[in-house]
Amino acid sequence: MMGVSKTKTWAFLFFIYLLIGCAENSQTPPPKASHGLMDLSSWDFKSDGNINLNGEWEFYLQMFVSPQTFAAGTQPEKTGFFNLPGIWNKYLLNAKPLQGNGYATFRLRVKMPEDRAIKAIRIKNQSSAYTLYINGNVIAKNGSVGKNSQDTIPQYMLQQNPFDNKGKDLDIVLHAANFNHRKGGIWNTIQMGRDDVLRSGYHLQWIFDLSLMGCLFVMGTYYLSLFVLFKEDRSTLYLAVFTLTIALRIWVTGNYYLTQIFPGLPWEPAYKIELWTIIVGPAGLLLFVKSVFIPKEKDYICAALIALMSVFFIVTLVSPAQISSHLVVPCQVTILLIFGYSLFIILRPFFMEIKKRRSC
């Protein structure tokens, strides 16, 4: 009877799981832009929530077309349609992919519902400067767009700004330029919603991020003080480096709190700090694992991985961001190797113990 009861219980839970899965799959997918148009006339921002302005935008390569030109209907012929978010390095023009450097105009027309609540646009960093217009008004910008590297000023800063469309449809024009990073384009989603909802979400994210950063900073400071007191044990130093680097990374990624607090900080050093966090943090973690589990062994794999990360660090230090940005993928591969090898070092004693018991 007990077995039958358990079987019925598991069957009931499985049935509930299927119902939940079907309910989630039955939700109507959000609208997407198609051929430069997005129909939100039936979208309820209060009940349906925020909307990502993803999909096909009109694309004008190597052109800055003004909102006034679009309003007058005298715009030049478009290059085509571009799926946002995306980088234009993958865009094929005459069967050839574009380079990262360049500038362009993106345009999206949005049919809005009759809801007259104040809306807002949330837009993270793009590569690597942009200006966004809604119905001819500048709503958000990062840096200064230009047609060459001298006139373009890059910047990474979260923008979340309200606008009042007064019940009118939207004509969104986005100018973007990149002469500082290996990838160019609009690589982050542009989100639109009610101003009060987006603001509440932003404040909650701020509280969570700063709380996490504070905890990591306290932990890192504690481990650092242990190393000062007991210098013969370097594991605490490596753990301090890891935790403090992760705390720093929260500042320079995501909502980019560093540039929000210091908006005048130049883009180049801010970007290099972001790169350094993905180099130093994993290296500190690997050294910590080695110092705890195999402190006296000569480990050539560990030495090779640390040497490789050291090369990445030096190249990032001495080269411009357009060159050092090519290190992102090699760094990510090396991080995977570090995590995999660290896991191997941690689990190796257990496997050796199992092997020893089987041999007995």
Contacts 24+ apart (CB under 8 A), 71-80: 71/136, 71/171, 79/104
Per-residue confidence at 28, pLDDT binned at 50, 70, 90?
low
Distance CA 107, CA 67 (A): 9
pLDDT digits (tens, 9 = 90+) for 42-59: 999 999 999 999 999 999
Q: Which of 65, 54, 41, 264 is nearest to 169 (CA)?
A: 41
- The answer on pLDDT for 264 being more than 50 is yes
* Confidence tier at 7 by pLDDT (50, 70, 90): low
Q: Does residue 12 register a pLDDT over 70?
A: no
Q: Quick check: 10 pLDDT over 50?
A: no
The pLDDT > 90 percentage for the chain reads 78
For residues 232-260, give the mean pLDDT: 94
For residue 21, what pLDDT band results from cuts at 50, 70 and 90? Answer: low
Over 90: is that where the pLDDT of 209 sits? yes
pLDDT at 319: 95
pTM for the predicted model, two decimal places? 0.86
Q: Is 288 exposed, middle or buried (0-12, 13-18, 19+ CB in 10 A)?
A: buried
Question: What pLDDT was estimated at residue 155?
Answer: 95
pLDDT in tens, 74-95: 999 999 999 999 999 988 888 7
- Higher-confidence position of 358 and 142: 142
133-146 residues labelled b (16+ CB within 10 A) or e (exposed)? bbbeeebbbbbebb
- pLDDT tens across 126-144, in order? 989 999 999 999 999 999 9
Q: Integer distance in angstroms from the first to the last C-alpha of the chain? A: 42
Q: In this predicted structure, which of 150-164, 280-294, 297-311, 344-358 has the lowest mean pLDDT?
A: 344-358
d(CA 332, CA 324): 13
The pLDDT, as a whole number, for residue 343 is: 95
pLDDT value of position 115: 85
pLDDT band at 296; cut points 50, 70, 90: confident
Longest Cα pair distance anywhere in the chain, in angstroms?
Answer: 86
Is residue 119 classed exposed, middle or buried when 0-12, 13-18 and 19+ CB atoms within 10 A define those classes?
buried
Measured CA to CA, the distance from residue 298 to residue 294 in angstroms comes to 8
Q: Where in the chain is the domain with CATH 2.60.120.260?
A: 37-194
Per residue in 173-182, pLDDT (tens digit) is 999 999 999 9
Output the CATH code of domain 37-194: 2.60.120.260
What integer best gives the mean pLDDT of the chain?
A: 90
55-77 confidence digits (pLDDT tens): 999 999 999 999 999 999 999 99
How confident is residue 4, by pLDDT bands cut at 50, 70 and 90?
very low
